[in-house]
A and B are shown apart, each in its own frame.
Chain A
Amino acid sequence: MTVMKKAVETPLTETAFLILLAMYRPNHGYGVMQFVEEKTEGRVVFGPGTLYGAINNLFKKGLIEKYPTDPSERRQDYVITPLGKSHVQSELKRMQEVVAIAEGIVRSGEHD
Chain B
Amino acid sequence: MIRRFKLFLNPVEGQAKWLNGMASRGYRLSHVGNIFYYFEPVEAGKYQYAVDYVANKSLEHLQDYESFLEESKIRWIEKPGSIGKLSWGNVRYRPYADRGAQLATSWGMIKREFLILERENRSEPFEIYTTVGDQIQALKVRRKPYIYLAIFLSIMFLLQAFKLESMLNWSLWSYRPGNGTFSIILLGGLWVSVLISLVRFQLAIRKLKSQKEI
Contact = CB atoms under 8 A, between A and B. Distances in A.
A49 B71 contact: no
Nearest to A42: B124
Interface of B: 50, 52, 65, 67-74, 117, 124, 126-131, 134, 138
Given A13-B131, A15-B131, A53-B134, A48 B69 contact: yes
Contacts of A15: 131
B102 to A, nearest CB: 20
Contact of A48 (B68, B124, B131, B138): B68
B35 to A, nearest CB: 27
12 contacts: A13-B131, A29-B71, A30-B73, A47-B50, A47-B126, A48-B72, A49-B128, A49-B138, A50-B134, A51-B72, A74-B71, A76-B67
The 6 residue pairs across chains A and B that have the minimum distance between CB atoms: A49-B128, A47-B130, A75-B71, A47-B127, A30-B72, A49-B129
A76 B67 CA distance: 9
Given A47-B128, A48-B72, A53-B134, 9 more contacts: A33-B72, A45-B124, A45-B130, A46-B130, A47-B50, A48-B117, A50-B130, A51-B72, A52-B65
Interface string A74-89: 1110000000000000
A92 to B, nearest CB: 20
Nearest to A75: B71
Contacts of A30: 71-73
